[in-house]
Amino acid sequence: MTLLAIQFSKSIFLFLFMLFIGICLSLDLGVFSKEKHARPTVKESIFRTLIWATLGLLFTLVIWFFHHNLHNLTTMQDFLQYESKYGGDFLKLDLLATQRAFASQSVVQYISGYFVEYSLSLDNLFVMMLIFKSFKVNHIYEKEILFWGVIGAVVMRFVFIFIGGALIVQFNWILYIFGAFLVYSGFKLLLNKENQDDTLDTHNHPVVKFASKIFRISKEPAHGKFFLRTNGKLYVTSLFIVLLVIEFSDVIFAVDSVPAIFGITHDPYLVFFSNIFAILGLRSLYFLLGHGLHKFHTLQIGLSIILIYIGAKMLAEHWLQEIGFTHIHNLIVLLGILALSILFTFILPEKPTEESKSN
């Protein structure tokens, strides 16, 4: 059976995909959990994180067999039009060879995008941990805030992917702006690496200042609630303010992550799939970070280098194509940066802070 023989309705495929993602998010976010404030153990966090990561990698099989159906690619002319619109280097002498090359390229682009987005999600979680620490949020309420925080991350990615994809189709030159922005963001992250022992200024944070002008903020203990009614008036609690700060950080990271994935592929489906699977399991990964994974202090340096690399690649795309730099090479570079950033954690132990010395 050839790949072209496997046909599937695009609308049915997308419906089943969104249904599957909805079920996975519900399970990961604990919608059906009886223990509302239960914090996963180390083993549970590792197991759940591995499950979601495995699902993300297994989706490559779906990409291989069904991705051409989403674009209705059935003839050589269809593939030619796709290549002129989204780029690539998969056209061969016959239709079957072309489709296999297209499937292979799509898988490599998806995996590359998945690892990049998953890596950037780590930095997002580091910031979430910093926010919870700064606002002194009781850990039993973190799960509730993370629920809406992850939902917000999904929505933000979807909106930015839609906007970014539309802009690239209309104005291809905007890729150079994306590239320059990523290089700037990478150097900024590299030169301003925050210590995880630092805290935010919760009183002067712009989101807190803005919220104080719009909402009535209750001084009463939140007790896990976002809203309280006192003397007939509705107030927002401190947990609601924390949620706003979390959602604001989601916007900031969407601004970085979406241009980063467009630096790997312009295919909107691959961009969307890689982002969704990177977000899937975000809450489990957060609790794994809380159990000590944040001690990989050189990982953030690796993330900044990834942003710089992808931005530079977008700026030099034409030159790289001329020297034969392929998507396989790109994936090897990305995995190499991640592997080295983790390896250097063991080679270069983090220097103890004054706080840790005093303890």
Residue 105 binned pLDDT confidence (cut-offs 50, 70, 90): very high
Q: Give domain status of residue 51, yes or no.
A: yes
Q: Give domain status of residue 358, yes or no.
A: no
Position 251 scores a pLDDT of: 81
Let me know the angle formed at the C-alpha of 113 by 280 and 332, rounded to the nearest 5 degrees. Answer: 125
Query: Do 284 and 148 touch, CB atoms closer than 8 A?
Result: no
User: How far is the C-alpha of 271 from the C-alpha of 267, rounded, in Å?
Assistant: 6
How confident is the model over 313-325, as a mean pLDDT? Answer: 80
Position 4 scores a pLDDT of: 45
Let me know the angle formed at the C-alpha of 244 by 274 and 138, rounded to the nearest 5 degrees. Answer: 100
How confident is the model over 253-277, as a mean pLDDT? Answer: 83
Query: Do 155 and 313 touch, CB atoms closer than 8 A?
Result: no
The sign of the dihedral angle between the CA atoms of 325, 328, 329, 334 is positive
Q: Give domain status of residue 311, yes or no.
A: yes
User: How far is the C-alpha of 165 from the C-alpha of 26, rounded, in Å?
Assistant: 28
Query: Do 301 and 190 touch, CB atoms closer than 8 A?
Result: yes
How confident is the model over 40-44, as a mean pLDDT? Answer: 75
User: How far is the C-alpha of 149 from the C-alpha of 154, rounded, in Å?
Assistant: 9
Q: Give domain status of residue 354, yes or no.
A: no
Name the residue among 117, 1, 2, 141 with its Cα closest to residue 59: 117
Tens digits of per-residue pLDDT, 219-242? 777 777 888 888 888 888 888 888
Q: Give domain status of residue 10, yes or no.
A: yes
The more confident residue out of 322 and 79 is 79
Residue in this structure with the two tokens 């998953």, named with its chain if needed: 118
What are the CA-CA distances from residue 314 to residues 18, 41, 117, 338, 354 (Å)?
30, 41, 16, 19, 41
Query: Do 128 and 143 touch, CB atoms closer than 8 A?
Result: no
CB neighbourhood size of 213 (10 A): 6
How much is the mean pLDDT over the chain?
78
Position 237 scores a pLDDT of: 87
Beta pairing class for 233-236 and 227-230: antiparallel
- Range(s) of the domain holding residue 126: 3-349
Is the per-residue pLDDT at 183 higher than 50?
Answer: yes
Is the per-residue pLDDT at 80 higher than 60?
Answer: yes
Q: Give domain status of residue 359, yes or no.
A: no
Lowest mean pLDDT among 50-59, 87-96, 191-200, 293-302: 191-200
β-pair partners for 217: 236
Say if residue 323 is exposed, middle or buried (CB neighbours under 10 Å; 0-12, 13-18, 19+): exposed
User: Which helix (H) or strand (E) is 230 found in, with range?
Assistant: strand 227-230
Q: Give domain status of residue 78, yes or no.
A: yes
- Helix, coil or strand: residue 2: coil
Residue 198 binned pLDDT confidence (cut-offs 50, 70, 90): low
Position 207 scores a pLDDT of: 85
Is the per-residue pLDDT at 1 higher than 50?
Answer: no
Domain count along the chain: 1
Q: Give domain status of residue 120, yes or no.
A: yes
Position 199 scores a pLDDT of: 61
User: How far is the C-alpha of 105 from the C-alpha of 108, rounded, in Å?
Assistant: 5
